Structure 1
């Protein structure tokens, strides 16, 4: 099979993996020095880092042959799809060629399981090793790891990659056992735990080195210690499939909260299940509304940056599901009208963050402004916040919401019209 045909098959096969964002890349910029590649600059845009940098990635599988038969996966062993396999050198050459053409700045590499988890992981790691050590490639590398692979291989992966990811696939052990019986949920969590330890150890070593003084011996000049090695400086991420089983949003967010808290994951990605060819009867025939995936991302953001507990976002008396007709922050505010209005001039940061329409940067600007003067209604307009959404929940030096919060139609007035809710796509 010619390389172009392989690329068409294996790039298409990789599109179902959502966990390929590039935040947290190590500074391996080659500008002004030797080496090839960089984690800076612009190319064909595929993903964005939190600081706004665009990182373009070549996103491929090493192979879509797989010995596992996960029911939700289009590349499962029983699936009737075209198959292909790259050699290590082919992936290396593609990465370098696309970089030289200014098409990419990094690589996202995953793979189906062939021969054994160790054999497959060894091939994936070898791609990264060759790029780093033989071609001095300093661009971004994200490796999808295989939890059943040996700890030694996982450690080698972390030395070469900017980010590692291990997909939990489904939010519960019961779901994994039903739809992917060959995968071991306990092995996945053990691998995440090991990665978390390695990542934290590397960060601690670099912190200690940053504060250490240069060493000297009698009769010699001052010398600095060799730099502590990086280990997956972008952290680790994972992906959960939404809608392939009956798991509700409350359980999904509880699983994510546990992953963030216990394993210190950088990101959890949510992928709405998409019906696949020759699907098993155990799978739904219709995909969940894509707005459900969107609401989960919004709820995830509330947990990570806004101080919400997962149990607050989806109360137990709500049937376990996020509302589809409004964002979860607005839904929480309407359900807790007794917490509002919030005084812009006196409220603490954690309460301001719960005002619908306020983002983290907006709150920080409000806090900075109120140190020098009292905030007024006009200040909200200058911040370009959604005034209609914000006003019922705040008060300023010259503004009070009156009975707005008591209005029975508050939810109806603030919820977006059906055409904007994503309910029909």
Structure 2
């Protein structure tokens, strides 16, 4: 096949893959010990920047954008009037190897529309990964998008060659799925998830006994939800995410704002797009649940079904629960320190370590990196320079927002001066 045709396919199928945001990853370590090509480092592959500032990327494509389903929210649905294309298995293998040799990529993220059947599609995805591993001796990162409805046998084989597997749950609720994708069943998504979860548990158990046990999806599994396509509240979305973290041992749940792709009475009108800020607030909430010890019911419940758009969820919780504050940074336990707005977990650990040697004051906290413009309203320390006054939640919120705007304007002004 001509280079021009391959290039055309790449343009079509890379563009179609952009709607899937669940392509970043971490936790896999596939060391190159057999003089093969590449390796997957322990800090993981992502599609933008790593923790040490390196720009690293994946070849992110669909195997095909043909699909037998007609999901209302999907740009590749069978009723869409779009240009269609499909890669052959060897073409994807060759692209991956050639791009890697040219230092364009460090791994592959491969998804696909469903053509013929879920198993037929999944077989081809697995075949790509298998060829890369066994024939090309490729040790770089591979993320395979599992196909809903694929058999247990194929899911097991996929995990032997891929670093991470993911099945997109697509719509947060079962009722939403029935409305927008009536051809699909909820169990088509959860069955592969359960298989991967059980295989990972089995692998870890066998690894303790037999060191040579083949790796199985060492970076775990993830999923993605489309938000804003139906009327789910933020509470519905985060309760659903919590369910998948708890019951399927998800490494990550991704939240993708719905992008209008077609006129459909079941969907928001063309031109109405989910604000990026809503995605950001959901990710912040996700972070609080996974790393800060919050329970989802503390942040979202019947009284507060949606997140505040003007302030972050931790500050919102603190303002609703002022009876827990102020906390004494020299005495409070790790759990309460983590709930102070302006304190990240790194700062919490630094405080706990530093206060073993002396009592901390505002100057110490500033050097540690605490965001005092928020934190000072919720804690006290060994200093009389500023003590929390009895303020109502709305007044504290107003002061924080005003200081934040002022800080932004100052930083923006300083940046402008650099160019004048």
Q: Same fold (TM over 0.5)?
A: yes
Given the alignment, which residue of 220, 243, 256 partners 1:235?
220
The offset of 1:384, in angstroms, is 2.1
Matches within 5 A, 1:134-283: 134-209=135-210, 227-276=212-261, 278-283=262-267
2:347–2:369 Cα contact (<8 Å) kept: no
Q: Distance in 2 between matches of 1:243 and 1:385?
A: 34
Q: Distance in 1 between matches of 2:205 and 2:49?
A: 27
Q: What's the secondary structure of 1:316's corresponding residue?
A: coil
Residue in structure 1 matched with residue 30 of structure 2 by the alignment: 27
Cα 1:246–1:99, aligned 2, differ >3 Å: closer, same or farther? same
Are 2:314 and 1:329 equivalent residues in the alignment? Answer: yes
Q: What's the secondary structure of 1:317's corresponding residue?
A: coil
5+ residue gaps, structure 2: 409-420
Cα 1:14–1:53, aligned 2, differ >3 Å: closer, same or farther? same
Given the alignment, which residue of 401, 421, 424 partners 2:387?
401
Q: Distance in 1 between matches of 2:354 and 2:256?
A: 40
Residue in structure 1 matched with residue 415 of structure 2 by the alignment: none
5+ residue gaps, structure 1: 210-225, 421-425
The offset of 1:417, in angstroms, is 4.3
Given the alignment, which residue of 339, 343, 360 partners 1:375?
360
Q: What's the secondary structure of 1:129's corresponding residue?
A: helix
Please list the CA deviations of residues 283-325 of structure 1 after superposition, one character each: whole Å capped at 9, or x if unmatched. Answer: 101112111111000000000000111111123212x111101
The offset of 1:54, in angstroms, is 5.4
Q: Which range moves more in the overlay, 390-399 or 140-149?
A: 390-399
Cα 1:262–1:40, aligned 2, differ >3 Å: closer, same or farther? closer
Q: Distance in 2 between matches of 1:407 and 1:248?
A: 24
1:303–1:310 Cα contact (<8 Å) kept: yes
Q: Distance in 2 between matches of 1:299 and 1:396?
A: 28
Q: What's the secondary structure of 1:149's corresponding residue?
A: coil
Residue in structure 2 matched with residue 413 of structure 1 by the alignment: 399
Q: Distance in 1 between matches of 2:117 and 2:321?
A: 52
Residue in structure 2 matched with residue 214 of structure 1 by the alignment: none
Residue in structure 2 matched with residue 221 of structure 1 by the alignment: none
Please list the CA deviations of residues 354-402 of structure 1 after superposition, one character each: whole Å capped at 9, or x if unmatched. Answer: 0111111111111111122211111111022221111111111114623
Residue in structure 1 matched with residue 411 of structure 2 by the alignment: none
2:314–2:341 Cα contact (<8 Å) kept: yes
The offset of 1:404, in angstroms, is 5.1
Q: Distance in 1 between matches of 2:407 and 2:306?
A: 21
Residue in structure 2 matched with residue 302 of structure 1 by the alignment: 288
Given the alignment, which residue of 12, 15, 18 partners 1:12?
15
Are 2:102 and 1:101 equivalent residues in the alignment? Answer: yes
Q: What's the secondary structure of 2:342's corresponding residue?
A: coil
Cα 1:92–1:270, aligned 2, differ >3 Å: closer, same or farther? same
Residue in structure 2 matched with residue 350 of structure 1 by the alignment: 335
Q: Which range moves more in the overlay, 375-384 or 302-311?
A: 375-384
Q: What's the secondary structure of 2:194's corresponding residue?
A: helix
The offset of 1:26, in angstroms, is 2.2
2:23–2:47 Cα contact (<8 Å) kept: no
The offset of 1:183, in angstroms, is 1.4
1:404–1:410 Cα contact (<8 Å) kept: no
1:314–1:322 Cα contact (<8 Å) kept: yes
1:22–1:48 Cα contact (<8 Å) kept: no
Q: Distance in 2 between matches of 1:120 and 1:189?
A: 18
The number of residues matched between the two structures is 400
Q: What's the secondary structure of 2:103's corresponding residue?
A: coil
